[in-house]
Amino acid sequence: MSMIFRFVPLCLLAIGLLCCPVAPPAMADDAASLRDIQAAISSADYGKAVNLLRPLADAGNAEALYVLGRLTLDGRGVKKNAQRAAQLFRQAAEKGDISAQNAWGAALASGQGVRRNYREAARWFRKAAEQGLAMAQYNLGYLHAHGRGVPKDENAAIDWYSRAANQGLADAQYSLGWTYLNSKGESQSDTKAVHWFEKAAEQDHVKAQNNLAFMYAEGRGYAQDPSRAVQWYARAAERGYAEAQYNLGFMYEQGRGVPQDYNKAVEWYRRAAEQNEPAAQYSLGLMYDQGTGVPRNLSEATRWYRLAAKNGDPDARAVIRAQGNAESQAKAAPAAKQPHRKARSQ
């Protein structure tokens, strides 16, 4: 499971500051400026937003420092500069802005604009997580899941993922499902895994959709239902997720949950293969090799085998090795798929 440490979307401004009923004059001015900044960001007028932010940031307004940091990190209205963004996040974090605490933690964890330091990242994630920020809870859970900056602790990972998942954060719901699915201990639960995959899938999280489909296809956590599997694979595949495209191609090739259709299998394998999905590249090569769903074309088959081998597919590597052996050159590639040719989760 890969991970990108997450920031709070830059369009969110602190509600408390904007709604304070009896604000001192300076704070009232800040609130008015922040409303203007929010309007500029909403209309994608980032240059105006930066011009409005700078005086507030120079005066030490934590929220302005954070939002200016986000714009600087993304290069919106100002030259992109990860180091400057990290400095702004740190200043805002030290002033107590919880979004900035998560952003500064993310910079430390990813090494973006600052030297990587997982231990310090965990400290800042915890500050924001304990104040209820879902993304910080998710990030802290990830550090515990992988033992980065904190002891590796599956129970702690589940605890923090659960807090964020219960707030509706789709990434946390997916990661919680993944943890329950792949746990080697007493936490393993297909039933809990599908519950959280479904929550995230309903929010259009493509990895969760792919994994939910896998659970239906394999009969894990649910009764086996290939038709439902196809429905969820299709949702993720149509949004461009390569693994789901490969899996959907497999379902069409095998006639699982849909009528067998080699042309559609080739179509979905090709979409995934063009995104460098190695299993799809191997499968597409095999379709050309056998003339299934496409006219037989051994040179095209070899091209896809080589791409798949380059991207780490073990079956493709075996085919290329066999083709490179003078004794095997005249032989066709394997006519049957290897055992791992099946729908996959990630």
What pLDDT sits at residue 34? 86
Q: Where are the alpha helices (DSSP H) in 147-297?
A: 154-165, 170-182, 190-201, 206-218, 226-238, 242-254, 262-273, 278-290
What pLDDT sits at residue 33? 84
SS (H, E, C) 164-175: HHCCCCHHHHHH
Could you read off the pLDDT of 68-96 as tens digits, one per residue? 999 999 999 999 999 999 999 999 999 99
Query: Would you state the structure tokens that stand for residue 7, as one six-digit string?
Result: 């920031």
- Report the SS3 class of residue 271: helix
Q: Radius of gyration over alpha carbons of the chain, in Å?
A: 25
pLDDT at 341 over 60: no
pLDDT at 144 over 60: yes
- Number of Cβ atoms within 10 Å of the Cβ of 303: 15
Q: What's the CA gap between 307 and 278, in Å, rounded? A: 7
Could you read off the pLDDT of 1-57 as tens digits, one per residue? 444 455 443 333 322 222 333 334 445 567 888 899 999 999 999 999 999 999 999
pTM equals: 0.86
What pLDDT sits at residue 31? 81
Angle at CA 98, nearest 5°, toward 164 and 58? 155
For every residue of 128-184, DSSP letters joined together read: HHTTT-HHHHHHHHHHHHHTSSS---HHHHHHHHHHHHTTT-HHHHHHHHHHHHH-S
What pLDDT sits at residue 344? 57
pLDDT band at 153 (very low <50, low <70, confident <90, very high): very high
Q: Where are the alpha helices (DSSP H) in 7-133?
A: 15-18, 25-42, 46-58, 62-74, 82-94, 98-110, 118-129
Could you read off the pLDDT of 237-296 as tens digits, one per residue? 999 999 999 999 999 999 999 999 999 999 999 999 999 999 999 999 999 999 999 999
pLDDT band at 339 (very low <50, low <70, confident <90, very high): very low
What pLDDT sits at residue 343? 52
Give buried/exposed letters for 150-159 (b at 16+ CB in 10 A, else e). beeebebbbe
What pLDDT sits at residue 14? 29
What pLDDT sits at residue 346? 65
Q: What are phi and psi of 185, to 5 degrees?
A: -115, -155
Average pLDDT, the chain: 89
How far are the Cα atoms of 115, 249, 262, 264, 276 from residue 293, in angstroms, in the given order?
52, 11, 5, 8, 20
Long-range own/partner contacts, residues 330-336 (CB < 8 A, 24 or more apart): 332/289, 333/285, 333/286, 333/289, 333/301, 333/305, 334/286, 335/290
Report percent pLDDT > 70 for the chain.
86
What pLDDT sits at residue 28? 58
Range 182-208 average pLDDT: 97
Range 134-156 average pLDDT: 98
Query: Would you state the structure tokens that stand for residue 181, as one six-digit string?
Result: 């699915």
pLDDT at 142 over 70: yes
Of residues 19 and 306, which shows the higher confidence score? 306
